[in-house]
Amino acid sequence: MKVILLGTAAGGGCPQWNCACAPCTSGSPPRTQDSAAFSADGRAWHLLNASPDIRAQILATPALRAGPGPRETPLRTVLLTDAELDHTLGLLMLREAADFTVHAPAAALHALTDHFPARTIISEYHHWNWLPTTETTLDGLVITSFPISDKQPKYARSSAHAGPWVVAYRIHDPTTGGTLVYAPCLRTWPPAFDAFVEGASLVLLDGTFHGGTEFTTATDGANPAAQQAMGHVPITTTLPMITNRAGATRWAYTHLNNTNPVVDLASPEHAAVVGAGAELPPDGAEFIL
């Protein structure tokens, strides 16, 4: 199985256009908004989330570009972890796709119809398949999901639809034994999550925040609870949990917020994460599992 990280930043990317915090002005390589692609054979590809930057991400990734026919594309499917705008706005950029399937939590599909009518808009162009997230297979790869939380996007807070609203995905290749776990939005580390990541080759964890306060500090926020309410467990909590674990699992952080000091390659926080054995891969990083 091949995996490409198309974007590794949280909503807004890094640098964020309206921010002059220290990480945004550090001069470190820019990061686009979180999305990834995976393939069993290097020919048919499937997306994990569809960020607002998806067009530029596709064009920057030769394996995902159109061809050889004038309207052929290797993209087949997108798996949405949730209904947040930074994970779904890219669907509108993909609206020219004549044949496409979207898997998402049922609550997210509801939001994309009734609160942010992406499904309605896209239906004016082509008929797509919109399927609730279940255990399935894609080109022989086995896909399972894990419910993370019932955190609703701001635009759908009035929705009474039952959760889960946010999931993680486990993608297993029976041929090679390689397994990817994709969890860019991890509110807590529930006990059952240990079993979900057990034996994985690569785990892409939520790296939105480094500690408990940098978002409010960097933006002069008045509400110290604002970061916690955003639903992302910080690296300082998860890094000790993955350090020195037995096994061959590679642990990497993605979905890095622009205020997170680890995006600065020269920061002590970046050095501490790498020194502990975790990875902070850049946009475009590729893995063979």
Give the amino acid at 181.
V
Question: 2-288: which CATH number, 3.10.310.30, 3.60.15.10, 3.40.50.720, 1.10.3720.10?
Answer: 3.60.15.10
pLDDT in the model for residue 222: 47
In order along its 289 residues, the chain shows pLDDT tens digits of 999 999 999 999 999 999 999 999 999 999 999 999 999 999 999 999 999 999 999 999 999 999 999 989 999 999 999 999 999 999 999 999 989 999 999 999 999 999 999 989 999 999 999 999 999 999 999 999 999 999 999 999 989 898 899 999 999 999 999 999 999 999 999 889 999 999 999 999 999 999 877 766 666 654 555 555 677 999 999 999 998 787 899 999 999 999 999 999 999 999 999 999 999 999 999 999 9
Do 185 and 163 contact (CB within 8 A), yes or no? no
Tokens 């087949």: give the residue: 76
Which 8-state DSSP code applies to residue 156? G
Longest CA–CA span in the chain (Å) reads: 54
pLDDT in the model for residue 245: 81
Do 8 and 38 contact (CB within 8 A), yes or no? no
Do 139 and 180 contact (CB within 8 A), yes or no? no
pLDDT in the model for residue 160: 86
